[in-house]
Amino acid sequence: MQIDIRNLSFAYGHKTIINGLSHTINPGDYLVIQGKNGSGKSTLIKCLLGINSVKNGMIFLDDDDINTFNKWTKFGYVSQNFDSFNYEFPLTVQELLKFSSITKASEHNYLMLLDQMGILDIVNDNVNSLSGGQLQRVFIVKAMLNDPEVLILDEPTASIDKQNSEFFYKTVDELNKQGKTIILITHTDSIENLNYTHILNMGLDLTTTITTKPIEGDEES
Amino acid sequence: MMLSFFSDLFQQDFMLRALFAGIILGAMAPVIGSIVTVRRLSFIADTLGHFSLVGISVSLFLSTFGFAMFLEKPLYLGIFFSVVGGFLIELFRRSYKNYKEISMVIVISLGSALSAIFFSLAKKTGSLYNYLFGSILTITDYYLVIILVTAVIVTLLFVIFGKQILSVSFDETTAKFLGINVSLFQMLFMIVLSVVVSVLLESAGVLLISSMMIIPVAAAMRIGWSYKSTLVISVVFSELSVLFGLWMAYSLRIPSGAAIVSVNIIILLIVAINKRMRDRRQIKKLDKLK
């Protein structure tokens, strides 16, 4: 999936958050979006996911205008803190993953993915009894379940410890090597050890800079 | 007292009708109620009930002009207005995205005001009591058929679209990545909920509808270990409430809706106290091990 952002601007009322951003994300790219709180990272993601409607500028997803795009199963999304999910009602990990599976094949996939994530033993546990790290990995399995082409991760390690965070980034690297496009948002993490291909830096003064990781950086891993 | 209840139960038609209706509603109310609870919209059944009451009051008002159909079958307009109330809630909910409850306050206020106006214009405020507190013992064959048809629709909906309903209910934001048309499902569920609320109106009454839907689920949530187990336990609690509630209503000559809800509350209290005691025992055990 190619994501083509063309001269995108976005404002909440009179306050401009994104000003004339253009960038193309190619299949297999690993884009890290960095910036301080309020720099527009989450706003950009909401635009890419069609949650914020794009009025100034354009976003094309595989040549389809985002305003008419409907193949959202090509995307997997892990939100920050999972605040939109009601994890207080009794629900097992297995139930969550079963009703999140689109096909029978993906329904059978979840055990393998849980195993890959090292959390197969919690399959029958209640979602509201899991630790932050376990919950994080369950939601990544949920996002991966239907084999999306693009995985969008919004500050994924905000609520987990260093050890889980390192394990998480290794998993993301692995997914990228398998050909998934990764879009990772972060404002605190040290990114030197990540195998990203591009960094999009968003400043509080509406400036955006895009840098490509040098080839030798890719070879380091 | 118990013996005469059981002998009447199978000898009197009205008792048998009440039993069948109670059993069906006892299963349907918590099934819908569980979804409402997951969506954190527990107040919605009350709101729709109040708007359904507008339909009943308009029916009574129209019947004063000689339209006998409206007097005999006020449920049709009740369902219609309940669906309108559902659409209004969705409409306001989109304007106040982070304040879902505001949309319900607006709709419940409008519903209460319109109901009061039309009941007053119809000069039949006496019938208001039945619609506020309900009476399952006075339901007709026609109403029983309506309950059955609604139950079949709800069952089919859950069998065919269960996955989608759960996905949208647990997480609206990410449901579209599962290829679900979220707006369409929200509307579909709102329509079904509106119909169920209207159907519950006559037996439970507008003030007790949400209790029948939510309280068994609230009790089951305390002891359920999965969605499925919580659902099954809530249906069991609900059916127990219906059976004991019917017996209480018949024996003590009190409104059936109020009796059913009272049993529901008693079950909730027993479960809550039992859970607290179990938790305390477990903490003490752990302390001893330390």
Chain B interface, best mutation among A52, A72, A141, by max B CB count within 10 A: A72
The mean per-residue pLDDT over the stretch A96-101 comes to 90
Q: What is the mean pLDDT of chain A?
A: 85
Q: What residues of chain A, 157 to 186, have a C-beta less than 8 Å from chain B?
A: none
Q: What range defines the domain where residue B245 resides?
A: 2-289
In whole angstroms, what is the distance from residue B269 CA to residue A116 CA?
43
In whole angstroms, what is the distance from residue B102 CA to residue B47 CA?
11
Task: Say whether residue B225 is in contact with chain A using an 8 A CB cutoff.
Answer: yes
pLDDT exceeds 60 at position B179: yes
Show Cβ contacts of residue B31 under 8 Å, excluding neighbours closer than 6 positions.
Answer: B154, B158, B231, B235
Task: Say whether residue A75 is in contact with chain B using an 8 A CB cutoff.
Answer: yes
Residue B5 confidence class, pLDDT cut points 50, 70, 90: confident
CA atoms within a 13 Å half-sphere pointing along the CA-CB vector of A187: 14
Q: What is the mean pLDDT of chain B?
A: 87
Contacts of B230 in chain A (CB under 8 A): 89-90
Q: What is the pLDDT of residue B160?
A: 92
pTM for the model stands at: 0.85
Structure confidence by residue, pLDDT tens digits, A120-143 = 999 999 998 998 888 888 988 888
Task: Say whether residue A16 is in contact with chain B using an 8 A CB cutoff.
Answer: no
**Are B70 and B77 spatial neighbours (Cβ–Cβ below 8 Å)?**
yes
Q: Report how many domains make up chain B.
A: 1
> Is B227 in contact with A92 (Cβ distance < 8 A)?
yes
**Are A203 and A195 spatial neighbours (Cβ–Cβ below 8 Å)?**
no
Structure confidence by residue, pLDDT tens digits, B79-131 = 999 999 998 988 888 788 777 788 889 999 999 999 989 988 887 666 677 77
The percent of chain B in helix, strand and coil, each rounded to the nearest 5, is: 85, 0, 15
Q: Which one of A72, A85, A98 has the shortest CB-CB distance to B171?
A: A85
Task: Say which CATH superfamily domain A29-52+73-212 falls into.
Answer: P-loop containing nucleotide triphosphate hydrolases (3.40.50.300)
CATH number, domain containing residue B258: 1.10.3470.10
Q: Which two tokens stand for residue B202?
A: 């006559």
Of A72-81, A104-113, A149-158, the one with minimum mean pLDDT is A104-113
Task: Say whether residue A9 is in contact with chain B using an 8 A CB cutoff.
Answer: no
CA quadruple A88, A89, A95, A96: dihedral sign: negative
Residue B70 confidence class, pLDDT cut points 50, 70, 90: low
Structure confidence by residue, pLDDT tens digits, B149-168 = 999 999 999 999 999 999 99
Structure confidence by residue, pLDDT tens digits, A154-205 = 887 776 777 777 777 888 888 899 899 999 998 665 677 778 888 888 877 7
pLDDT exceeds 80 at position A214: no
Structure confidence by residue, pLDDT tens digits, B207-231 = 788 889 999 999 999 999 999 999 9
